[in-house]
Structure 1
Amino acid sequence: MKNVLLCAVALLVSVQAIVAQTATYAILPKPTQLEAGKGSYTLPTTPAISVQSANPEVRRIAQVLADQLAKATGFSPLITTGNASKGISFVDAKGKQLGAEGYTLVVSPKQIIIAAEQPQGFFYGVQSLMQLMPAAIFSPTKVSGVAWTVPACTITDQPRYGYRGSMLDVGRYFYPVAFIKKYIDLLALHKMNTFHWHLTEDQGWRIEIKKYPKLTEVSSIRKKTMAGHYRDHAYDDKPYGGFYTQDEVRDVVKYAQERYITVIPEIEMPGHSVAVLAAYPELGSNPDKILDVSYNWGVHDDVLFPREETFTFLENVLTEVMGLFPSQYIHIGGDECPKTQWKQSRFCQALMKEKGLKDEHELQSYFIQRIDKFVTSKGRRIIGWDEILEGGLSPNATVMSWRGISGGIAAARQNHDVVMSPTTYCYLDYYQADPKTQPVTIGGLLPLEKVYSFNPSVSDSLTADQSKHILGVQGNVWSEYLPTTHSVEYMAYPRLIALAETGWTPQASRNIDDFKQRLEIHKKRLDYLKVNYFGAPINNTFQYVWPKETAKK
């Protein structure tokens, strides 16, 4: 009996130690390796930050750290090039094979050393260092009465996947540049490296194209917006619009680059293009057909037609888009394109016969392959939703698998790159709790635990070489029911943090209970950053359900 009690006590002590360590080292996403140390480093009132790298980007990153230290602590950091034996040092890693995004972080009572091979690694090392500090380090203003200490530890860290992203739909609802930058900041904090900007939709075109001014004069504004859920068929009868100027786009891209985030633009085609057809009907089924920018959510039969005029239009649009976005990938959508009008069109049927295409799916493949050839000629690559597999995949295309993971597996078997983004784990516009307790949204149920359980690896279905084509994971925030920036944050966080850990942390090191414990500490940081996450103390009530008396059917 005595031995049983001793074992129980030992187990309890062990569990308590693990819980205490989790709270002390509450880093999200969880590092690849973390070894706890003894004691802690205390920040002096004039922290010395030494940059021992010839890369000017490393000094800029050190300045980012210094600026935040100055804001939150009131201290006066001093950046030098000498050896800061008692301060914070940025040093080039040698022979550690950390990769472009990897880093080491060593904290002792005497000093802190961040080592990396590339600037991205230093940047992520800073994110981890700040998460080791008291949550108040994220305050935009000085916080008094805080013990500015960092627990001793040794971290060796690098990502599981090279692609870790989030898509934000601004076609249904338009969000200001300031919020787009905040969204990017939050991605960077959680070591995500891709912002997929969904810029065009049936309900609104959101990017300035100088060659086609009607895209912003006409296509960016709808007459009214659905009020409540789609099934209510009620509207607010208020014009709604907005778009980003090319200067604003350049500003956002530069802002993201400074945080090591690639911005991938999405220009939808051939479906989800009613807003385009409202301005340029000649690109659709009938040049005399008068269309409004859609004010209904969902899928629409009016789509772009594979005429030469359409390809000229799209090539001109994409030329301007590629001039604004230096990303390797250009997203061309390709999803949810009804074939009804193509089936009824003499032109489309004649084109199919001329090109030897057996059905409308192959006609869409022809459409996508034309765009693929053009984008490839400009030194870029297309990425599209998994419908681009239908009728035959374009030679250089990358697939974003959203209708489950089967599309991703099929693409990888054809030796095409894949980003996993299935609705069952990655669609953050789904309910995250009992719908009776939540603002109205599209439907579905995707709680935090389900998001965290996602494992993008499909190695059981692929060979070793095919598995290498799984680039990573992406969380999607569709905006039909997200009219405010607060509502976007409410739906995205903390679920997007769970996906960040999915993309960064080795599968064997992931544990939902451990994640939740670290998340509770992390929420204090989000509070300082004024993030309206699910359960946040800011404001979880939104005007989602419009009063029936003000909504007209």
Structure 2
Amino acid sequence: MTRRPLLHRLALLAGIALVLAACAIAPAPRAVPDAPASPAAEAPLSLIPQVARLVRAPGQFPLRDGVPLVAAAGDRGAVAAARWLADAAQRSRALVLPLAPSAPATPSPAVRFVRDASIVGDEAYRLSVAPDGVQIRARTDAGLFYGAVTLWQLLTAVPAGAPLPALTIDDAPRFAWRGLMLDSARHLQTPEEIRALIEQMAEHKLNVLHWHLTDDQGWRIQIKRYPALTRVGAWRVPPDAGRDGEPKRYGGFYTQQQIREIVAYAAARHITVVPEIDLPGHATAAVAAYPRLGVTGKRIAVSPDWGVNTTLYNPSPATVRFMQHVLDEVMALFPSRFIHLGGDEAVKDQWQASPAVQAQRRRLGLASDDALQSWFMDQLGSYLAAHGRRMIGWDEILDGGVPGNAAVMSWRGNKGAVAAAQKGHDVVLSPAPDLYFDQLQSDRADETTGRIPVKSLADIYAFEPVPKQLDAAQASHVLGAQANVWTEHMPSFAHIEHAVFPRLDALAEVTWTPVARRDWPDFLARLPVQLARYRAAGIGYADSAFAPSIDLDAEAALASGRAVITLANQARFGTLRYTLDGSEPGATARRYVAPFEVMLPATIRATAFAPDGIELAAPRTRVIDRRALLTRSGNALLNCPGSAFRLRVQPEADATTLAPVYTVPLFNSCQQWPAAPLDGITALRVTLQRLPNNYALAHEASLVVQHPHATPFGELVAHVDGCDGKVLASWPLPDPAHSPRALHFDSSIAPPAGKHDLCFVITAPTDGPLHAFDRVELGEGGK
């Protein structure tokens, strides 16, 4: 799979405005008219997603040990919500809040869960905090639960032991589908890790976990009728297996008992788990297990290659029956209304080359292979419908006609959503790259793996799920939106946490909060407390939005021996502080106000602080001397013209650490250092990292550029003044079977003076390993 809030208090606005102006950060949040502000309101309450309506009131309520949570004993939904709140309060604030079946005989403070038929909305609730107690009122179980979540957020938004402010919240979600897709086919997560992710989803009021369980690289769901799906299909041999300690097999699967436990855990938090069984493409693992499912009938291996494999299911009646049997067990495990059947990236080469498949297409009277795919999926969609379920698929299911009453998940931008909604089909917005959490969230050198271009925290927050092309009636078919966590380049749960958090906060607000209540600066003001919640829960979130960049004009610094330093961060939020002696920049370190000058060599450390003094990001360090200014990380080099596609990857396909990372221009092994400073340069040193070439590109393989090479394994060639310019140096690449992964090249050069573009071309055969640049260094005077 390639696949703004209200009630911001004026006092806070003024305070943040002063801080932001001093730091040259973004403008202060605007006030959005709503309920009148209370004089007691001094700061925004860290409620994420922002609630639909909040009214402050005089007074406070101390939620202390022993305050009972009152829920009628026969009301299972109320008891479950109260129990979740008790566990969350114990975990986060060490509070003991006992459950009580009824209110005490004498009036006393309590948190009461009350059924209220007047609350409109399946997930709506009213939360009231008064000096004499708290009430959570809702018509439904989900409403009571979300009221409990908001009360817990209030509890953790104030200092430990502090009373809760009196207020009334009336809240309900904007969309019914508030989702996150987790890909467990490319890389697995443990059941414990998945439960941790589900818990965070619940705390953000997300309600759909789309679980991607089958693909070319692995079949992860136990099907008892067909045990080879996991005995064979759950295991792959990584590229370069057995080399340099790399494991010989990767894989595993979830037993049906594990799946039942995960589904129950999610259901207790009002999260529906929607499984995905991908077809007719992304079928390699299944066909490896049962070759008769494939078009050729030949035995193949589970694929270790990311991208678009060309293996398809044979769209025969026998395959339909096989998949119906699979769906019988899937439906028994997942009570969800929707079952996802994929439908994406089904390259039809095998079908087109098969006389039997083409004969079947003609017998069915179908005009195209896209129509045959639609027929195949309709067989299974109708089977689901006969069992009270409903098919949902990626937007390719539009290409041959949407089967039956299927819903469409739009990932190829928004066009699929627009086309489906205009035809009366329900849609979920999940476009690439807008809501793909495997996109990098910054271009920082210390960012970990992912796709390029960057999709930042601000980008996710700015996403609008309802396409502008839809009228009101068509827009009613937009069920909601979800973000996707594709794990080709997220081999560990640490990668997933880094990619998901805190962008999940932005997604939550996009899918829950009314448009008029969404406000980016106010969201940022509420985020520091949420980051503290993550730290308390042990969540390895990314601080990319707040981490300081330390920038300067390298050419001027080389010429003068001094540098003018500019500090900033991606979110343009917080107070930036720095040191010049290599020490930790604490809350009393120098505050950044304007660019400042340093003499070379210099070591600058900087970080950002929230208005309340809490550190927003780990300190970043930049050492500035001549050698550093004459060195470029491979991640800082640019693609050569003609191909913008870039990936940031690790040296092994299944690495479990977050670093090192290398940027790969997959379609053209050519990168540039524009305007390199060549005055006095006499040497060129380059370090490459050899990487596995495990990318299935299908028809796009024809776009890969093969540069002419003169030696068996190709060369690294350095040009000046463009990729057709003078050759400064050329080094033959060694035999990959008998050389280390890290390759070092060093040569004397005689470049022209001044600034010139350097172009580095790797001419290795395209059917061999990939080579990524680790760093390029210019040397002076024999250094």
**Common fold by TM > 0.5:** yes
Q: Distance in 1 between matches of 2:385 and 2:618?
A: 46
Cα displacement (A) at 1:396: 1.3
Between 177-186 and 31-40, the greater mean CA deviation after superposition: 31-40
Q: Distance in 2 between matches of 1:74 and 1:435?
A: 38
The structure 2 residue matched to 1:285, chosen from 280, 286, 295, is: 295
Contact residue 361 and residue 391 of structure 1 kept, 8 A: yes
Structure 1: segments with no counterpart, 5+ residues: 1-7, 137-144, 228-233
The structure 2 residue matched to 1:86, chosen from 105, 109, 128, is: 109
Who is 2:694 aligned against?
A: none
- Asked whether 1:128 is paired with 2:150, we answer yes
| Residue type of the alignment partner of 1:215 | L
Write the mapping of 1:294-373 to structure 2, written as runs, cut at 5 A.
294-373=303-382
Cα displacement (A) at 1:125: 0.7
Q: Does the residue aligned with 1:426 lie in a helix, a strand or coil?
A: coil
Who is 2:225 aligned against?
A: 211
Contact residue 449 and residue 490 of structure 2 kept, 8 A: no
| Residue type of the alignment partner of 1:155 | I
Cα displacement (A) at 1:25: 1.1
Who is 1:500 aligned against?
A: 508
Provide Cα deviations, 1:383-418, integer angstroms capped at 9, x if missing partner. Answer: 000000011111110000011111011111111110
Q: Does the residue aligned with 2:434 lie in a helix, a strand or coil?
A: helix
Higher share in strand:
2
- Asked whether 1:542 is paired with 2:563, we answer no
Q: Distance in 2 between matches of 1:21 and 1:452?
A: 25
Larger RCO of the pair (alpha carbons < 8 Å, separation 6+): 1
Write the mapping of 1:180-195 to structure 2, written as runs, cut at 5 A.
180-195=194-209
Who is 2:682 aligned against?
A: none
| Residue type of the alignment partner of 1:172 | R
Who is 1:432 aligned against?
A: 441
Cα displacement (A) at 1:153: 1.4
Who is 2:570 aligned against?
A: none
Write the mapping of 1:349-428 to structure 2, written as runs, cut at 5 A.
349-428=358-437
Higher share in helix:
1
Contact residue 53 and residue 91 of structure 1 kept, 8 A: no
Provide Cα deviations, 1:149-189, integer angstroms capped at 9, x if missing partner. Answer: 21221100000001101000000101100001011101100
Superposition RMSD on alpha carbons, in Å?
A: 2.7
Q: Distance in 2 between matches of 1:387 and 1:22?
A: 50
Q: Distance in 1 between matches of 2:475 and 2:229?
A: 41
The structure 1 residue matched to 2:273, chosen from 256, 263, 271, is: 263
Provide Cα deviations, 1:461-506, integer angstroms capped at 9, x if missing partner. Answer: 2332221110001010000010111110100111122111111000
Q: Does the residue aligned with 2:281 lie in a helix, a strand or coil?
A: coil
Q: Distance in 2 between matches of 1:67 and 1:75?
A: 9
Who is 1:474 aligned against?
A: 482
Q: Distance in 2 between matches of 1:101 and 1:337?
A: 37
Cα displacement (A) at 1:94: 3.7
Q: Which one has a bigger Cα radius of gyration?
A: 2
Q: Distance in 2 between matches of 1:82 and 1:395?
A: 51
Cα displacement (A) at 1:370: 1.1
- Asked whether 1:116 is paired with 2:138, we answer yes
- Number of matched pairs: 529
Q: Distance in 2 between matches of 1:101 and 1:423?
A: 29
| Residue type of the alignment partner of 2:142 | Q
Q: Distance in 1 between matches of 2:51 and 2:42?
A: 12
| Residue type of the alignment partner of 2:82 | A
Compared CA separation, residues 315 and 152, structure 1 to 2 (3 A): same
Who is 1:104 aligned against?
A: 126
Q: Distance in 1 between matches of 2:229 and 2:449?
A: 31
Between 320-329 and 66-75, the greater mean CA deviation after superposition: 66-75
Identity %: 39
Cα displacement (A) at 1:78: 2.9
Structure 2: segments with no counterpart, 5+ residues: 1-9, 19-28, 32-39, 544-615, 620-655, 663-688, 691-739, 743-767, 770-783
Contact residue 225 and residue 235 of structure 1 kept, 8 A: no
Q: Distance in 1 between matches of 2:296 and 2:342?
A: 23
Q: Distance in 2 between matches of 1:190 and 1:125?
A: 12
Provide Cα deviations, 1:226-255, integer angstroms capped at 9, x if missing partner. Answer: 89xxxxxx9945310110000000111111
Contact residue 39 and residue 151 of structure 1 kept, 8 A: yes
Who is 2:494 aligned against?
A: 486
Cα displacement (A) at 1:225: 4.9
Provide Cα deviations, 1:88-145, integer angstroms capped at 9, x if missing partner. Answer: 1111224232x12111111122211111111111111111111111359xxxxxxxx9
| Residue type of the alignment partner of 2:51 | P
Q: Distance in 2 between matches of 1:178 and 1:190?
A: 19
- Asked whether 1:163 is paired with 2:166, we answer no
Q: Does the residue aligned with 2:78 lie in a helix, a strand or coil?
A: helix
Compared CA separation, residues 510 and 34, structure 1 to 2 (3 A): same
Write the mapping of 1:28-107 to structure 2, written as runs, cut at 5 A.
28-52=48-72, 54-80=74-100, 81-82=102-103, 85-97=108-120, 99-107=121-129
Q: Distance in 1 between matches of 2:253 and 2:65?
A: 45
TM-score by length of 2: 0.64
Q: Distance in 1 between matches of 2:16 and 2:229?
A: 63
Who is 1:250 aligned against?
A: 260
Q: Distance in 2 between matches of 1:153 and 1:446?
A: 36
Q: Distance in 2 between matches of 1:189 and 1:280?
A: 41
- Asked whether 1:464 is paired with 2:472, we answer yes
Q: Does the residue aligned with 2:473 lie in a helix, a strand or coil?
A: helix
Q: Distance in 2 between matches of 1:115 and 1:276?
A: 48
Contact residue 433 and residue 439 of structure 2 kept, 8 A: no
Provide Cα deviations, 1:334-387, integer angstroms capped at 9, x if missing partner. Answer: 000001111111012111211121111111111111111111111100000000
Q: Does the residue aligned with 2:58 lie in a helix, a strand or coil?
A: strand
Q: Distance in 1 between matches of 2:62 and 2:430?
A: 42
Contact residue 225 and residue 240 of structure 1 kept, 8 A: no
